[in-house]
Structure 1
Amino acid sequence: MAPESREHNLRIKKPKGLWLRRWSRQPAGTPLSRAFADLIPRVSQENDILDFLGKRPHRKHPGVLHLSQVQLPQALVTAAQRLVQESSIPNIEKQVQTLTNYLWSRKLPTEPEELRKKAIQLENKLQDTGSLQSEKQLRGAVLSALRKTIYLWQKLSYDERLSLVYMAARLDGGFAAVSRAFHEIRARVPDFKPQTLMDFGSGTGSVTWAAYDTWGQSLHEYLCVDSSTSMLALAERLLKGGLDSGKPHIPGVFFRQFLPVSPKIQFDVVVSAFSLSELPSTADQTEVIQTLWRKTGQFLVLVENGTKTGHHILMDARDLVLRGPEKSPIDHRPGHVFAPCPHELPCPKLAASPPQACSFSQAYSTIPFGWNHSHKEEKFSLVILSRDLQGEDHRWARLTQPVLKRTRHVHCHLCCPDGHLQHVVTARQHGRHLYRCARASTWGDCLPLTTSPEFPPSPVQDPSDD
């Protein structure tokens, strides 16, 4: 071999020897991750050496909370099909689609003070133009302009026809979203065996079916509260297989139009699913949330559409329980966020510019009506509040968007315990265990990341529609 070649080989081998000499100076017994942390900046020792796996494989790490495709109980499917087949509603498929679109696009009602300020601004603007002479003309022009610029919120009156259309449109999707919420409680607190449940705005009773499917014989009392007598009658018929009489499929279910009067009555689980958005004002929402929290013995589960409006409603409810003064408290235990937030700080998605919706998705098998696809995804927002602080895993970062797998890294959009949004996980920066768990995780799961990675906030915007 030529002298130049030997010299070249020596130049290559020299750094390797130097690296080995530096490695040999590591103290005996130094963990592998600690040694790499000395050489590679920003390696999270805490997350790599944390013994969170036990004997579980990475694909089944403790933060995996997602559900596979949800199946409705066959008794519920049969009852719903019977009721639709027996109905005389013309063109029900079109009415189902119209109601679905309307509910998804619904916004918050305009508050009276906001409406008054807008009217004064329009009146002053029209007066400055001088085109309108009489007071009547001015008032008419202001009202016309308000109709074009202000969202017209209307209360839905659920009579027998609309209740049946709502059942055909929302029974299976609502069941899937609530099942996902209940699954999180059962997965993280397996010893929790609720005995009583109250469902505010119970509608078709999907919460009762989901609770029974989750906890089975543990629950012995379900209180369904809904202002619509038609909805209550429909929910009762569904329990009886779509018939007017017979033995209910789930025992211990009671129906009422109003919340219990006594402040001392509490329930292990209190639920409001897609109901807070049906209230006509912020004041009404505040009063209902405070009442529901007083009725909560352990868990308060709130679910809304996965839109900016739905997320905004839930964050207001979360802040009210955590920081608002409680009226006449019977239970003095403070409230804590159980899910999905890994912190009790202001929501970083609301602070983004523009604000983003924090939502999740659950796959489910639809009721086989003629117009339905066999499988759908329910996009929803949720918040679960607890009277007690449950476990240590509430401090783990939450995946707020689908995981994007790439070569040697994954894009994981994370809401972290310090209240910031972060993304990107690699084996080099976070350790191989966390990296492999991230690749096996999906939207809505948690990662055992207890400190934020040192990356700038994610610039990716949430594509959610308002």
Structure 2
Amino acid sequence: MLSVRLRFQQWRALCSAVSGKPNLDNSTDFLSSVPHRKHPGILHMNIVHLPKEAVDAARSIMKNCSIRQEQVSSLKNYLWSRKCPVEDSDLRLKASQLEDEFKERLQNESEMDPVDREEKIKNQVLNALRKSTYNWQPLNYSQHIGLVYLAARFDGGYAAVTRALYEINKRVPDFKPLTLMDFGSGVGTVIWAAHALWGNSVKEYMCVDTSASMNNLSEMILRGGSETSRMHIHGVYFRQFLPVSPKVQYDLVISAFSLNELPNFAARQKTIQALWRKTGGFLVLVENGTREGHRLLMEARDIVLRGGDKEIWDHRPACVFAPCPHQLECPKLSENSKVPCNFVQKYQSFPLSWNSQQQWEKFSFLILSRGIVGGDDKHWPRVIGDVLLRPRHVHCHTCGSDGKLHHDVITSNRHGKDLYRCARICKLGDRLPAIISYPDSDPDAPGNKGKNDS
């Protein structure tokens, strides 16, 4: 028993030493004004509720519609498991490799007519591609599919967008957007989420969706389910295509669950660059919390940070605001990482007979800012896993400012009671208010200043 306890103590010490010793970053003396349970790294929301006006309007619209549980579940599963379309160049390369493989298999059949051999190889290649290649198809959001989507994703989508926007609202309280653009606006979850957080501060909502049916449905919800009623939120405009002029910017540009609707990388790159040109303050991207959704966000992150856009009107640099505490390559993209960078949000379900009262939305998000925004806490590590509470110690899995994943075991004796208490209250998605001296990292980085001066 003693040897087991000794091994555990050695393992716990090693876990803490992997990323250096975390120290509480109380440079702004925040603990003098707030208790530990409300430290500024806390970003999680307990439960998200759709606004009553939105729920009542949606129920009124669906009251006379024949929407079945099977249709809703089928669309939910399809959207969650949907993958990106295969690039033409990748498809041609794979076809060439398969053709060489089948030619080698048939080279001993000398009696076969050359024309028949070529035809057989062609058919084999096509059959193999059909079986191994994801068959991406664009979704046609007709009036009926729009209603099914409303029942399937209105509540969960609203929860994810609200949590992403809450990050800006909490960390930059002085930011009050006047204008907002929503690309792939769908049923209007972004409008309702932004209005819930900033109220009448937002004077203009530019909603862009290629589906006229979805635009009509979104407007109907804003009107309370009646075409003749006044809109609950004012200043909302609908378009089917992105505005052309790159000179007109919006304080807040958002794209939620829309990148996978684009047919190829070229279309995604063009769209992301256009959205970034339109961004005057923050660009917010939200996707499913799957490996595919996370990869799409990291692709967009790379497109913006790498630059290369020829139409540059705003020369302020792109900075990663959240969730990453760095601008290096995401460590979750490595082959060793089994789970993507995702987060969860609890929400009140839409009142349908088959829905449970409360559910969880798993999502990934990315927020980019024009220039450096926020205080000196940008380097605080992000909690990327469940915080494990144990007697007299806490396990924290974080992504650090050095661009690496860390596992810290925080105790009161080793790290101080303040950091220990702050860590115990943290949850997935929060930030640990700590300075960590990372080995082999930049000596000028926070926590490493003066480290090599002696």
State TM-score, norm by structure 1.
Answer: 0.85
Distance 1:227 1:394 in 2: 37
Q: Supply the distance in 1 between the matched residues of 2:36 and 2:100 (Cα, whole angstroms).
A: 64
Q: Which residue of 1 aligns with 2:181?
A: 198
Map of 1:303 onto structure 2 = 286
- Specify whether residues 48 and 339 from structure 1 end up closer, same or farther in structure 2 by C-alpha distance, changes over 3 A only: closer
Among 76, 81, 90, the alignment partner of 1:105 is 81
Q: Once the two structures are aligned, what percentage of the paired residues are identical?
A: 54
Shift of 1:52: 4.1
Instruction: After TM superposition, give the deviation of residue 154 of structure 1 in Å.
Output: 1.0
1:295-444 aligned within 5 A: 295-354=278-337, 356-390=339-373, 391-424=375-408, 425-444=410-429
Q: How many residues align?
A: 414
1:117 equivalent in alignment to 2:93? yes
**In structure 2, distance between residues paired with 1:344 and 1:63:** 19
Does the alignment pair 1:58 with 2:36? yes
Could you say which residue in structure 2 is the equivalent of 1:129? 105
Q: Distance in 2 between matches of 1:364 and 1:49?
A: 32
Point out the more displaced range, 48-57 or 245-254.
48-57
Query: How far apart are 1:453 and its partner, in Å?
Result: 6.2
Change (3 A) 1:353 1:452: farther
Counterpart amino acid of 1:109?
Answer: P
Alpha-carbon shift at residue 243 of structure 1 (Å): 1.6
The change in CA–CA distance for 1:434 and 1:334 in structure 2 (over 3 A counts) is same
CA distance in 1, matches of 2:439, 2:387: 19
User: Is it true that 1:93 corresponds to 2:93 in the alignment?
Assistant: no
The amino acid of 2:421's aligned partner reads: R
Aligned partners of 1:102 and 1:428: how far apart in 2?
Answer: 50
> Residues 429, 316 of structure 1: CA spacing in aligned structure 2 closer, same or farther, 3 A cutoff?
farther
Letter in 1 for 2:321: F
TM-score normalised by length of structure 2: 0.88
> Post-superposition shift, 1:109?
1.1
Matched, 1:265 2:251: no
**Residues 54/240 of structure 1: CA separation in 2 closer, same or farther (3 Å cut):** same
Whichever residue aligns with residue 330 of structure 2, its letter is C
SS of match in other structure, 1:86: coil
Q: How far has the Cα of 1:245 moved from its partner?
A: 2.1
Which ranges in structure 2 are unaligned for 5 or more consecutive residues? Answer: 1-16, 441-454
How far off is 1:44 after superposition?
A: 4.3
Shift of 1:448: 1.4
The structure whose RCO (Cα within 8 Å, separation 6+) is larger is 2
Tell me if structure 1 keeps the 8 A contact 2:20–2:437: no
Judge conservation of contact 2:206–2:237 (CA < 8 Å) in 1: yes
CA distance in structure 1 between the partners assigned to 2:326 and 2:249 by the alignment: 26
Q: What is the rounded CA distance, in whole Å, between the counterparts of 2:387 and 2:211 in structure 1?
A: 41
- Distance in structure 2 (CA, Å) of the matches to 1:399 and 1:220: 35
Distance 1:454 1:406, change over 3 A: farther
Alignment check: 8 A CA contact 2:22 2:434 kept: no
Check the 8 A contact 1:69/1:363 in 2, yes or no.
yes
1:163 aligns with 2:146: yes
Q: 1:307, 1:380 within 8 Å by CA — same for their partners in 2? A: yes
* CA RMSD of superposed structures (Å): 2.0
Quote how far apart the aligned CAs of 1:45 are.
7.9
Which consecutive unaligned segments of at least 5 residues does structure 1 have? 1-39, 456-466
54-63 or 208-217: bigger deviation? 54-63
Cα distance in 2 for residues equivalent to 1:257 and 1:400: 37
Structure 1 counterpart SS, 2:434: coil
Runs ≥4 residues deviating over 3 A: 42-46, 48-52, 131-134, 452-455
**Displacement of 1:427:** 2.4
- 153, 163, 174: which is aligned to 1:180? 163
Instruction: Report the Cα distance in structure 2 between the residues aligned to 1:327 and 1:351, rounded to whole angstroms.
Output: 31
Q: Distance in 2 between matches of 1:353 and 1:389?
A: 32
CA distance in 1, matches of 2:176, 2:403: 31
The C-alpha deviation readout for 1:166-222, integer Å capped at 9, x for no partner, is 111000111111111111111111111110000000000110010011100101100
The residue aligned with 1:10 is: none
Q: Check whether the contact 1:267–1:296 (CA below 8 A) recurs between aligned residues.
A: yes
Q: Indicate which of 118, 121, 125 corresponds to 1:142.
A: 125
Shift of 1:368: 0.5
